[in-house]
């Protein structure tokens, strides 16, 4: 959804509040316009920030996304749809997306402000991402794992079992990008332990990208 011109201009000087919502999964969701891009935030975390969602934007740059053989993309954790938005509008990629999000209010906001204005092939599924990867039979060339509840990843997404399901869903040469916090010392310790003791059990050739207080874990 395009905003009136004065809100767009004002957003380069101060954050402009657009809409608030609550859901059974998030006590407070706020849509802001910040420097011309939509943000979806909770009091503790940024869920989405257009092409300025650096965790994935810089990851796509570092892996030279335009040179990868990608057609089918699975996104776990929707936000406002930053991942398909930046891939379509900035990286000029024409992919087919399966977008999985448990919170119907987030799906509604994403559709209202971003998804309805994309030309990519989008399928949005309201589901628990952990359950979805267990029952889905499709494979994907790119899986973007971005499931958070505010500023933490639920325990079921930190298990070896969950990673094994991701491994089943990725094509032989496909890429998994798993977003993790790496800012505060407690986050660094937790993420390093997870990477070394769990992630690399399933993906022995795994690596990580250090991006602005986050690690993006990769399967290869």
Give 102's DSSP letter.
Answer: S
* Residue range 25-78, pLDDT digits in tens: 888 999 999 999 898 888 877 787 777 788 899 999 999 999 999 999 999 999
User: ∠ CA(146), CA(78), CA(171), 5° rounding?
Assistant: 60
Q: CATH 3.30.310.80: does it fit domain 50-218?
A: no
How would DSSP label each residue in 2-16? PPPHHHHHHTTTS-E
Cβ(212)–Cβ(183) below 8 Å = no
Q: Where are the domains of the chain?
A: 50-218
| Burial track 10-40 (b if 16+ CB lie within 10 A, e otherwise) | ebeeeebebeeeeeeebeebbbbbbeebbbb
- Residue 90 C-alpha from the chain's centroid: 16
Q: Is the per-residue pLDDT at 108 higher than 80?
A: yes
What is the structure's pLDDT at 43?
80
Q: Is the per-residue pLDDT at 127 higher than 90?
A: yes
What is the structure's pLDDT at 49?
77
* Residue range 155-174, pLDDT digits in tens: 999 999 999 999 999 999 99
* Residue range 184-215, pLDDT digits in tens: 899 999 999 999 999 999 999 999 999 988 99
The rounded radius of gyration (Å) of the Cα atoms in the chain is: 17
Q: Of 150-154, 162-166, 179-183, where does the model show the most confidence? A: 162-166
């Amino acid at each position: 959804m395009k905003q009136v011109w004065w809100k767009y201009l004002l957003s380069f000087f101060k954050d402009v509040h657009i809409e608030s919502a609550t859901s059974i999964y998030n006590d407070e969701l706020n849509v802001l316009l910040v420097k011309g891009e939509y943000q979806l935030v909770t009091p503790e975390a940024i869920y989405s920030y257009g092409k300025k969602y650096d965790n994935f934007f810089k990851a796509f740059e570092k892996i030279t996304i335009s040179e990868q053989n990608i057609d089918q993309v699975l996104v776990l954790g929707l936000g406002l749809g930053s991942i398909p938005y930046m891939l379509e509008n900035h990286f000029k990629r024409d992919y087919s997306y399966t977008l999985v999000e448990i919170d119907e209010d987030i799906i509604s906001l994403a559709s209202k402000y971003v998804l309805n204005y994309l030309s990519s092939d989008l399928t949005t599924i309201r589901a628990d991402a952990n359950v979805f990867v267990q029952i889905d039979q499709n494979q994907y060339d790119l899986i973007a794992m971005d499931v958070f509840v505010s500023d933490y990843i639920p325990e079921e997404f930190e298990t070896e079992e969950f990673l094994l399901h991701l491994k089943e869903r990725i094509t032989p040469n496909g890429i998994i990008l798993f977003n993790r916090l790496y800012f505060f010392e407690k986050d660094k310790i937790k993420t390093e332990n997870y990477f070394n003791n769990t992630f690399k059990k399933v993906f022995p050739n795994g690596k990580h990208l250090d991006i602005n207080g986050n690690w993006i874990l990769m399967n290869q």
